[in-house]
């Protein structure tokens, strides 16, 4: 198994990261490319959050400035973490309104794709949405559920997170738009999710989502959409662990992707 190749950078006493010139350049290039890519595709709420964050375009941002905006809007803050954290830590952070962020940036070699969520993915992909009350509330609720869930239940909960927070779409009278950070931080996924006729797009049904397998290393063959972000509040009202039990009883859908060859 390939070992994780990146290590998070330390923060100084003021919470600042000593980004290198190369890292500033990578951030600058990534932001320029993705801002151009998501025009007319990301949801209105994402752009509103991006305006609030006012992320720098010519240098990698610093966590304290982002935390000030998150604190003022939804009470969240970023929590610097090592490159990989376990699920216990992940759920506990979300439950306490702390969003884990690995403090490393991809290199030019991995410019187009990186399996591990780096600083660009977490900041550009997710932080704008964390300024939105419904998205922020759902993310915390998800964390609270996961804290006490069994290992088996967490697998089903992970699918809900994957198809909302990471790869969620909105479809309404204004058309199709994107709110999932896994799409918004990837040019290939943005173009595919928004414009391709190949993937399936379905109205989100919680049990359906929990029964849908996914792979992290391919363009997604299926996306689930909401009619409005406020529907995330409705998901909170459901007994999601009961939904997990129902999904277990019904069994998984057949994967819509080719199986890996061992």
Q: How far is CA 44 from CA 40, 97, 147, 204, 236, in A?
A: 9, 23, 31, 20, 22
Angstrom CA distances, 73 to 105, 130, 142, stand at 26, 8, 19
Look up residue 76 and give its two tokens.
């969240």
Is 121 annotated in some ligand binding site?
yes
Cα–Cα dist 142/161, whole Å:
8
Ligand-binding annotation for 4, yes or no, is no
Q: What beta strand segments (E) does the chain contain?
A: 77-81, 98-102, 169-172, 175-178, 200-203, 222-226
Question: 122 among the known binding-site residues?
Answer: no
Residue 170 neighbours by CB under 8 Å, 6+ apart? 43, 176, 177, 178, 179, 225, 226, 227, 228, 229
Q: Identify the sign of the CA torsion 60, 65, 70, 73.
A: negative
Beta-sheet pairing, 175-178 with 169-172: antiparallel
How many CB atoms sit inside 10 A of residue 162's CB?
A: 19
Q: From the annotation, which residues make up the binding site?
A: 121, 126, 166
Q: From the annotation, which residues make up the binding site for Fe cation?
A: 121, 126, 166
């Amino acid at each position: 198994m390939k070992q994780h190749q990146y290590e998070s950078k330390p923060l100084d006493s003021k919470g600042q990261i000593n980004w290198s010139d190369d890292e500033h350049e990578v951030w600058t290039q990534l932001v320029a490319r993705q801002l151009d890519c998501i025009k007319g595709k990301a949801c209105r709420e994402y752009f509103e959050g991006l305006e609030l964050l006012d992320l720098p375009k010519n240098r990698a941002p610093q966590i304290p400035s982002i935390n000030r905006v998150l604190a003022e809007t939804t009470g969240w803050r970023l929590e610097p973490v090592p490159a990989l954290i376990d699920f216990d830590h992940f759920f506990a952070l979300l439950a306490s309104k702390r969003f884990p962020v690995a403090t490393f940036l991809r290199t030019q070699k991995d410019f187009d794709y990186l399996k591990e969520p780096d600083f660009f993915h977490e900041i550009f992909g997710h932080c704008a949405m964390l300024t939105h009350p419904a998205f922020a509330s759902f993310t915390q609720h998800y964390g609270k559920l996961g804290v006490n869930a069994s290992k088996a239940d967490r697998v089903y909960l992970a699918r809900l997170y994957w198809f909302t927070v990471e790869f969620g779409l909105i479809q309404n009278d204004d058309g199709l738009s994107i709110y999932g950070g896994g799409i918004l931080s990837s040019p290939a996924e943005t173009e595919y999710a928004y414009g391709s006729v190949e993937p399936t797009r379905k109205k989100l049904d919680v049990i359906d989502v929990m029964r849908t397998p996914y792979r992290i290393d391919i363009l997604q063959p299926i996306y689930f959409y909401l009619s409005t972000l406020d529907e995330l509040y409705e998901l909170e009202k459901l007994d999601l662990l009961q939904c997990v039990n129902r999904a277990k009883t019904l069994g998984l859908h057949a994967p819509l992707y080719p199986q890996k060859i061992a």
